[in-house]
C-alpha cells in the first residue's frame, strides 16, 4: 500500500459489530492511498452492503479480513489484518452509543495470557 494512515477508529456501530462478530471494528483509514496486491488478488472478495457505505473485504481462502478501497478513494485497513506493527494509537471510539449492551468497562475483564481453564 502506498499512502499514509490519517485515522484509526474503533467503530461500535451495529454493522461493524456484525462484520467482525466483536465489540467493534478497528480500522485504519488512508485517504488517497493505493493498494497493489503482490499475491492472492484473485482471492480477495469484497462484500458491499447495498445502500450503505459499509463494505468488507476478506480472503476467500482463509476468511481473514483484508484492506479494501472505498468509493471515496480511501483505503480501509482492518488493524488486526496487518503483519507489521501499527505505529499509532486509535484516535477514537466511534458510534459508541450503538455499542453492545455487554460492551462496557471491557478493560476491567480479567486478562489471561492463554485460554481459560
Ligand atoms: Zn461502524
Q: Can you give the residue ranges of every domain in the chain? A: 7-100
- Reduce the DSSP state of residue 16 to 3 states and report it: helix
CATH topology of domain 7-100: glutathione-dependent formaldehyde- activating enzyme (gfa) (3.90.1590)
For residue 9, pLDDT over 90 is answered with yes
Give me ligand 1 centre to Cα 20, in Å.
Answer: 10
pLDDT band at 27 (very low <50, low <70, confident <90, very high): very high
> What integer pLDDT is reported at residue 63 of this predicted model?
94
Beta carbons of 76 and 53 less than 8 angstroms apart: no
> What integer pLDDT is reported at residue 52 of this predicted model?
86
The grid cell for 82 is 496487518
Give me ligand 1 centre to Cα 14, in Å.
Answer: 7
Give me ligand 1 centre to Cα 112, in Å.
Answer: 28
Give me ligand 1 centre to Cα 11, in Å.
Answer: 4
For residue 12, pLDDT over 90 is answered with yes
Give me ligand 1 centre to Cα 15, in Å.
Answer: 6
Backbone angles phi, psi at 34, to 5 degrees: -125, 150
For residue 69, pLDDT over 90 is answered with yes
Amino acid at each position: 500500500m502506498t499512502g499514509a494512515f490519517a485515522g484509526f477508529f474503533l467503530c461500535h456501530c451495529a454493522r461493524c459489530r456484525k462484520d467482525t462478530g466483536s465489540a467493534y471494528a478497528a480500522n485504519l483509514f488512508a485517504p488517497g492511498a493505493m493498494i497493489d496486491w503482490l499475491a492472492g488478488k484473485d482471492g480477495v472478495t469484497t462484500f458491499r452492503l447495498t445502500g450503505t457505505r459499509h463494505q468488507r473485504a476478506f480472503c476467500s481462502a482463509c476468511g481473514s479480513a483484508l484492506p479494501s478501497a472505498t468509493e471515496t478513494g480511501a483505503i480501509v485497513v482492518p488493524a488486526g489484518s496487518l503483519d507489521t506493527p501499527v505505529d499509532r494509537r486509535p484516535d477514537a471510539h466511534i458510534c459508541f452509543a450503538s455499542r453492545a449492551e455487554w460492551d462496557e468497562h471491557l478493560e476491567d475483564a480479567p486478562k489471561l495470557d492463554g485460554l481459560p481453564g
